[in-house]
Amino acid sequence: MRSGRVQADKVLIIHTGGTIGMLPTEQGLAPAAGFEQLLRQRLAERLDTLPAFDLIELEPLIDSAELSPSQWSSIAAPIIDRYEDYAGFIILHGTDTLAYTASALSFMLQGLTKPVILTGSQIPLAEHRSDADSNLLGALELAARPEISEVCIYFNGRLLRGNRSVKVDASALAAFDSPNLARLGEVGIEVSLRSDLMLAPGMPAFSSPDFDPAAVAVLRIFPGISATLLQAVLSQPGLRGVILQSYGVGNAPTSDAALMETLESAIARGVTIVNLTQCSRGAVASDTYATGAALSRIGVISGADLTLEAAFAKLHWLLAQNLSAEDVAAKLRQSLCGEQLAS
């Protein structure tokens, strides 16, 4: 981290791309440079009442549907490099993979002492009726609040823990929510924050590893799934971890001997498999039913109440630390930065 003096209430905005800064092209909406000029024009009448901010743009800008885990470190880099220079940080990001990036940053930026707020919009800032204005105004206010010391998503008046958030609606302005944790705050006529839910400031322990996009895959259980299909995924070069999305509280067709043998064989050769519920709320409780308990017996690890996005990012981050399989399994059962109930 670069040493410097914090500019009182000054916020750094990191524009990564996404709908918020897109402009129409012949092929449809696409990322476009020059967002800062448009932003300052839209906020011109309010700049005197808002926290001061600097803005930088990633090069190239990213359509979030094209995001790869290998790009997470480039998003974190400006925060790590300039952490001592600003009171808080805002990341403008496309909504499709915003919750994945928020989750990844929560593991990369552990021990925060100031806010990191991710936001974006469903409608570009340049268009009428855009939700970008209200999301940006709320994010600016929250990013200067010293009582927030974690990675959050702010969208449509809701402040959410980043690694507990999911995109819940493809087109509504209330695009994000936190199914297994209450919202950290609401911005309406007043700003209401849940200090009892927020993470306490810590000792910054930042990391920016090289993420291998091939390291983690997601497998969803469905009626009739075959061992052949599982084997096709589990034998992919470079694969080291799998998120297994099972039914209900962690159930799968464990009476299928070939399927179970395929999973057990992958675990034996060092692939970490995390059991996650397909349900939008709730948690894996592997011992409730025999089918879930059978997965535990062969070494599948309970993902508790992790979201898919948080489980994916956490497993990627742990594997990038070059830990032993035992250490990865142990940390998957712990809450490292408020992402889950301990399992």
302 labeled binding residue = no
Cβ atoms 198, 184 nearer than 8 A:
yes
User: CB burial class (10 A; 0-12, 13-18, 19+) of residue 308?
Assistant: buried
Pairing of strands 109-110, 7-17: unpaired
By DSSP bridging, strand 7-17 and strand 241-246 are: unpaired
Give start and end residues of each alpha helix (H) in 119-173. Answer: 132-143
249: nearest Cα among 274, 213, 276: 276
Flag whether 63 is marked binding. no
64 is in an annotated binding site: yes
Q: How far apart are CA 54 and CA 37, in angstroms?
A: 12
Q: How far apart are CA 322 and CA 312, in angstroms?
A: 16
Q: Tell the residue number behind the tokens 């025999």, with chain if given.
A: 290
Contacts (Cβ under 8 Å, ≥6 apart) of 48? none
The catalytic site residues sit at 19, 95
Tokens 């995001």, residue located: 67
Spell out a b/e string for 21-44, using b for 16 or more CB atoms within 10 Å of the CB, else e.
bbbeeeeebebbeebbebbeebbe
Query: Per the annotation, where are the binding residues for substrate?
Result: 64, 95-96
Query: Per the annotation, where are the binding residues?
Result: 64, 95-96
